Amino acid sequence: MNESNEILREIVGRALLLRVGTHVVAIVKQRVAGSIFEDGSDANASKYSTKPFSMPIGAVKPNALKLALLKGKDPDFTEVFRTKAGKLWVLMTEGYKWYREQNKKPSEKVDMRWTSEMMRSLTVLDANPETGEITIGHKGARNEQLATWHHQGAGRSKKVRKWLYLTEKELGSIAGME
């Protein structure tokens, strides 16, 4: 009977921790969708860059833009060039914000979603009823790497966007969960 009580306690404890963890994930996703980042993030972390940047032409999306560039019909805000190694690249003179607009992606505020894969991968990885610890993170090495880049500095300018945290108010809302 004692062993079944321990098993029941573990199941209930794990279920409660998973519920709390799922609530935390929802809070973080909602905050990031609102372009709200932690103290320690760079100034203008919530805005997409308008600084020029270069990328391989093969990575350009949408295909219509890539084809226009390859045919020499450069839009006003791009310059195609060859690297010293002979690779074809394109300079986006109006920055990443303009590039997002060409791809019909929201560009007014950073929501860290191009395909939404990274944010979809944010989940409860573990709930340990013995220690009371909940581990939240990303499924998949690529998504972990993307999240790390944002915390350490993304892009050429190394813009830091810290977002995997809870504020005091958010912690209080978890304590009062229904």
Classify residue 94 by its DSSP letter.
Answer: T
Q: Cβ(119)–Cβ(32) under 8 Å?
A: yes
Choice between 139 and 70, residue whose per-residue pLDDT is larger: 139
Q: Judge whether residue 127 has pLDDT over 80.
A: yes
| Tens digit of each residue's pLDDT (9 = 90 or more) over 14-64 | 899 999 999 999 999 999 999 988 888 888 889 999 999 999 999 999 888
In this predicted structure, what is the pLDDT of residue 114? 86
Mean pLDDT over 117-135 rounds to 93
What is the overall mean pLDDT for the chain?
88
User: For the whole prediction, is pTM greater than 0.85?
Assistant: no
Q: Judge whether residue 125 has pLDDT over 70.
A: yes
3-state secondary structure 47-77: CCCCCCEEEEHHHCCCHHHHHHHHCCCCCCC
Give me the residue label for tokens 């220690």. Answer: 131
Q: How far apart are CA 141 and CA 69, in angstroms?
A: 32
Q: Is 54 exposed, middle or buried (0-12, 13-18, 19+ CB in 10 A)?
A: middle
Choice between 174 and 107, residue whose per-residue pLDDT is larger: 107
Count of alpha carbons within 13 angstroms of residue 152, beta-carbon side: 6
In this predicted structure, what is the pLDDT of residue 87? 95
Got the DSSP string for 101-136? HHTT---SS--S-SSSHHHHTEEEEEEETTTTEEEE
In this predicted structure, what is the pLDDT of residue 177? 63
| Nearby residues of 55 by Cβ (< 8 Å), 6 or more positions away | 89, 90, 92
In this predicted structure, what is the pLDDT of residue 42? 86
Identify the three-state secondary structure at position 41.
strand
Q: How far apart are CA 150 and CA 163, in angstroms?
A: 9
Q: Judge whether residue 9 has pLDDT over 90.
A: no
